[in-house]
Structure 1
Amino acid sequence: MTSALADKPSFWGSKVGGLPRPFWALWAGSLVNRLGTMVVPFTGVYLTQARGLSVAAAGLVMTVYGVGSLMSQLTAGVLADRIGRRATLAGSMLASATSMLALGYSTTLPAITVSMFVLGLVVDAYRPASNALVADLISPAERPRAFALLFWAINLGYSVGMTAGGWLAEAGFIWLFWFDAVSSLVFALLVWRAVPETRPEASHVGGGFGVVLRDRLMIGFTLVVLGNAFVYTQTFTMLPVAMTTFAGLSTGELGLAMALNGVLIVVVQPLVSDWLARRDPSRTFALGLAVMGAGFALTAFVTSMGWLAGTIVVWTVGEVITAGIPGAILAALAPEHLRGRYAGLFGFAWSVAAVLAPMLGSRLLALGQGAMWFTMGGVGVASAVAMLALAPAIRRRSAH
């Protein structure tokens, strides 16, 4: 007689088992790519120290990068639906490798500016294709877990890459560009060799961004995502400024406290992702948004590294709860032949937040810590409420 225990999946089997091989190629490529993500976080330092640009000139160049990023997601979404997920993803990685090296060897302001614009256009252009691939390859029940695993890989790779990037920068900035370029090429090769093309047949493809923009449920969800992105983007824009300028923390204390975010995600998320995947996605996302909002609101009271660490734990718990959920909701909302475009609009919300977060956040911070962080908390809670309001319609769409 077979034991009932024999029928149960192992602990790690329940976390990572049951997903197709092409997904794991995409997962491995995402991990390698984020391990090599070193150039963008160190761009400001590179432009001012290695290329001798003034702070004003560096700011202009980084603004141009932001313009490219705004165009990136919508353009890549169209390409993912028209020429295919695999071609778009691999092509964007090849273009990223080329633009990385072009930027690394550019010495004049015009050349640097053009390279930065192209880099902004292509460096994250893989995201709509990646989202569409997961939706194409994975069943609806498994999508939250699959997206959560991708989120985990990206965070793990980014954490290690940032540490290694600091060491490589000391040896010479050009090493950052080569490491980033090689990791992009590895991602492109993995996808091209191990991931099939999943785009629907051309005879079934119809519609365009007009269809996406007329989808009121998708527009509502995109606004929720924009609220989430606006709050979260403060972690690497205004939060460091506020903690060092107003709370009196040293950069070392700030870095040590912020390391908690990556550690908690890497350790905790794999333990809870399959359990969270079985919950209602809309309610889970709303809960995570509310917890994140609470964590950022508590930042108004930070006066020491310990207090900052406590707030980081709170909003990281919210981040862990939300991991993978938005991608699963997006996949449920999008028609199969328009998944690239829907993912492009989703990514566009994050690009807009990257522009708005420092612009509006700096003005709020000028009014004081309370104005800044209570506003962020309010945006988080408002986004959670909006998500709950959309939940019934999302459940109806998902059931079809």
Structure 2
Amino acid sequence: MKKLLKNYISTFDGLSKEVWWLSLITLINRAGTMVIPFLSLYLTEDLGFTLSNVGTIMTAFGLGSVIGSWLGGKLTDKIGYYKIMVFSLFISGFMFIGLQYLKTIYTLSLGIFALMVVADMFRPAMFVALSAYSKPENKTRSVTLIRLAINLGFSAGPAVGGLIIVSLGYGGLFWVDGITCIAATLLLIKVLNPKKTRVQDEIKVDNPYSAYKDKPFIIFLFALFLFGFIFLQYFSTMPLYYRERHLLSELEIGLLLGANGFFIFLLEMPLIKYLENTRFAKTSLILFGAFLTAISFLILNFSNWSGILIFAMFLMTLGEMIAFPFANAFALQQAKKGNQGEYMALYSIAFSFAHIFGHKSGMELVEGVGYDNTWYIMTVLGGLCMLLLYILNQFIKRKKLVR
């Protein structure tokens, strides 16, 4: 056991102090994201909206995310990642608190749109900061550490969120999310002042290559969109499935969603360190992650036993653990050719588009064709994602862009 613990700790060797601080800031911020997985339940059960209404509001969520990511990338290239991260975290904290006071479909749609514009300016700025503070050889593991922080917070968040709903109602979730954003801002200002911290990989490109002309990157973005589309069902339509088909309580749903973060906390860093030392290309590993995620939907139709939910969650989590770190690393690698903010903005936007279409489409599919057929459709979309990644892999091999 002692040797196992020592080997686990050794997977973190070589990461910079700044990356650790950035991870802690992310952990504090994400500990309050318990609002997000319960948003569909809040809108349907507390406010009485239809599934179609929920889909509309979640579309506003995605549109705000797209504009915020694009704006964050542009401003990061112009004024730097630090100012954008501070602004985004601090202002979004107050906006999260205010969101609970919006009760109509129009005010909620507008409020969530504005919130996501501000909140998602943080994402491209954070990726550029992560790249700057990481040595080139440590970037995949640095990304993994950030994801570890996100999922450690997300592991506790839904479980605690279920308890807060039972005792204080949904309003308490908005307060917690807002306060943690503000707390994360204060820590960021204290420990990551760019004048006092050490940049380890400052990349300056004299003649930057446009991300919009990078064909492998564009193929990758379409694949990422499809992966995000199916992945996000676990945080919009899936909680409703747990409630309606398997009659789980909010606390049980929170614990099941929290298991996702717990699995990642235990397994992701050792898994990524192992996979980094294999001969597999990043794109091949992303493809395998997409396969596991697609299968996690398919098996839900094989049994009515509630235990299948845990197995499906584990498969999805394993797919996520493999796909996302190597997708991040691939994007950062491609970004070395141009303006990093532009590349990482497009990377974030691909996932934001998944928010726009994924939540609304998922809700409409469930309402129109039922849960079983929806899971079959998600499996097919996962197959299309895998096909694009295979094409990307072959394109890269032919062009010899990546070893």
* TM-score where L is the length of structure 2: 0.83
Contact 1:222 1:349 in 2 (8 A): yes
> What aligned pairs does 1:263-274 form with structure 2 within 5 A after superposition?
263-274=262-273
CA distance in 2, matches of 1:128, 1:310: 33
How far did 1:218 drift? 1.3
Contact 2:296 2:316 in 1 (8 A): yes
Matched residue, 1:186: 183
CA distance in 2, matches of 1:238, 1:48: 12
Deviates more, 1:72-81 or 1:99-108: 99-108
How far did 1:259 drift? 4.5
How far did 1:256 drift? 5.4
Distance change >3 Å, CA 78–CA 174, structure 1 → 2: same
Number of residue equivalences: 386
Matched residue, 2:33: 37
- The answer to whether the aligner puts 1:309 opposite 2:305 as a matched pair is no
Distance change >3 Å, CA 112–CA 353, structure 1 → 2: closer
Contact 1:22 1:196 in 2 (8 A): no
> What aligned pairs does 1:195-234 form with structure 2 within 5 A after superposition?
195=192, 197=194, 211-234=210-233
> What aligned pairs does 1:59-138 form with structure 2 within 5 A after superposition?
62-104=58-100, 114-138=110-134
Contact 2:92 2:118 in 1 (8 A): yes
- The answer to whether the aligner puts 1:24 opposite 2:26 as a matched pair is no
Matched residue, 1:4: none
* TM-score where L is the length of structure 1: 0.84
What are the superposed Cα offsets for residues 80-103 of structure 1, whole Å, 9 maximum, x if unpaired? Answer: 111111111111001112222333
Matched residue, 1:251: 248
Distance change >3 Å, CA 386–CA 58, structure 1 → 2: closer
Matched residue, 1:352: 353
CA distance in 1, matches of 2:107, 2:241: 34
What are the superposed Cα offsets for residues 309-359 of structure 1, whole Å, 9 maximum, x if unpaired? Answer: 222222222222224111100001113651112111111111111121233
User: What amino acid sits opposite 1:72 in the alignment?
Assistant: G
CA distance in 1, matches of 2:203, 2:36: 36
Gaps of 5+ in 1: 1-8
What are the superposed Cα offsets for residues 167-191 of structure 1, whole Å, 9 maximum, x if unpaired? Answer: 3343365543333223212322333
CA distance in 2, matches of 1:276, 1:201: 26
Contact 1:296 1:376 in 2 (8 A): yes
Identity over aligned pairs, percent: 26
Contact 2:88 2:122 in 1 (8 A): yes
Contact 2:58 2:360 in 1 (8 A): no
CA distance in 1, matches of 2:343, 2:152: 27
What are the superposed Cα offsets for residues 110-148 of structure 1, whole Å, 9 maximum, x if unpaired? Answer: 765554332121223211111111222223321111111
CA distance in 1, matches of 2:11, 2:246: 38
User: What amino acid sits opposite 1:293 in the alignment?
Assistant: A
RMSD: 3.3
CA distance in 1, matches of 2:361, 2:103: 33
Give the secondary-structure state (helix, strand or coil) at the position aligned to 1:251.
coil
> What aligned pairs does 1:327-342 form with structure 2 within 5 A after superposition?
327-335=328-336, 338-342=339-343
User: What amino acid sits opposite 1:238 in the alignment?
Assistant: T
- The answer to whether the aligner puts 1:261 opposite 2:257 as a matched pair is no
